[in-house]
Amino acid sequence: MGSVLSGVGRFAYGARRGIRNLATVALLLSGTQAIAEPITLAALGDSLTQGYGLPQEDGFVPNLEAWLRAQGADVAVMNAGVSGDTTAGGLARVGWTLTPEVDAMIVALGGNDLLRGIDPAASRANLDGILREASGRGLPVLLIGLPAPGNYGPDFQRDFNAMYPELAETYDALYVENFLGPLTEGDQAQALREDMQEDGIHPNANGVDKIVAALGPVVMQLVERAR
């Protein structure tokens, strides 16, 4: 079943690219200059995406957009992060988040599911619904996870951690294991001092810079898929 859905996803956004290319050729043949529009990415997430506790310009989304543009990509990144949102909240609003101009989506949800101890089966079903919606619209996706701690037990940890890579494979999505990965490698005490806000949960401006630098190259792959 996974391979079938994966093939459908690739066909859908492959066909979408083909239609765009045909439209561009038609404009050139007619003597009309084609004006390329920027690629629009929707970043669907929670407070980590939204930029909780930071001035707007220091948040994840504006910094990611600036990083991509510095690499020469004509990209606009839409901030669809809502503080406190769960995977259920993301599923409830994905339909109206994916407006006609959206070309691809970043999905970074699950942290609040962890904080609330929500059954991984429910979180998985919600993420599946989000990815199915994007696939149905022919949109490529980057899925970004968070690792579960062991305090809910080994079964919870196993099921939660497995859902991200398995869903990414099913829907042929790009995948990053840990949104906060760049801050959790090495000296944890130093990371808390230098890269995190006082709550120990959300990155500060320095931490956002490190996250963007690590995620940026993968997001560039997403941009290429959306062309």
Active site residues: 47, 199, 202
* Cα–Cα dist 80/150, whole Å: 29
Task: Read off the tokens for 176.
Answer: 């990053």
The torsion defined by the Cα of 214, 69, 20 and 99, in degrees rounded to 10, comes to 80
The whole-angstrom distance between residue 93's C-alpha and the CA centroid of its chain comes to 15
146 contact partners, CB below 8 Å, separation of at least 6: 110, 111, 114, 178, 179, 180
Residue 75 pairs in a beta bridge with 39
Q: Which residue has the tokens 């149905």?
A: 136
Q: What are phi and psi of 96, to 5 degrees?
A: -85, -10
